[in-house]
Amino acid sequence: MRVLSGIQPTGRPHWGNYFGAIRQYIDLQHGNEAYYFVADLHALTTVRDAARLRQNTFDAALDLLALGLDPEKAVLFRQSDVPEVSELCWLLMTGTPMGLLERCHAYKDKKEKGLTADAGLFTYPVLMSADILAYDADIVPVGADQVQHIEVCRDLAGSFNHQFGETFVLPKAKTLDASAKVPGTDGEKMSKSYDNTIELFEDPKAARKKIMRITTDARPMEEPKEPDGDHLYQLYSLFVGDAEREAMAALYRRGGFGYGEIKKALADAAESFFADARTRRAALVADPARVEQILADGAVRARKKAAATLARAQKNCGLR
Q: Please work out, in degrees rounded to the nearest 5, the angle formed at the alpha carbon of residue 261 by the alpha carbons of 258 and 262.
A: 95
Residues 320 and 315: their CA atoms lie apart, in Å, by 5
* Catalytic residue, candidates 73, 189, 210, 264: 189
Active site residue 111: no
Burial 67-102, CB ≥16 within 10 A → b, else e: bbbebeebbbbbbbbbebbebbbebbeeebeeeebe
d(CA 243, CA 247): 6
- The catalytic position among 110, 111, 210, 264 is 110
| 192 included as an active-site residue | yes
209 is catalytic: no
Which residues 6+ apart lie within 8 Å of 250 measured at CB? none
Catalytic residue, from 111, 174, 181, 192: name it: 192
Within 8 A by CB and 6+ apart from 249, the residues are: 227, 233
Query: Using CA atoms, how far apart are residues 54 and 70, in angstroms rounded to an integer?
Result: 22
Report the catalytic residues: 110, 189, 192
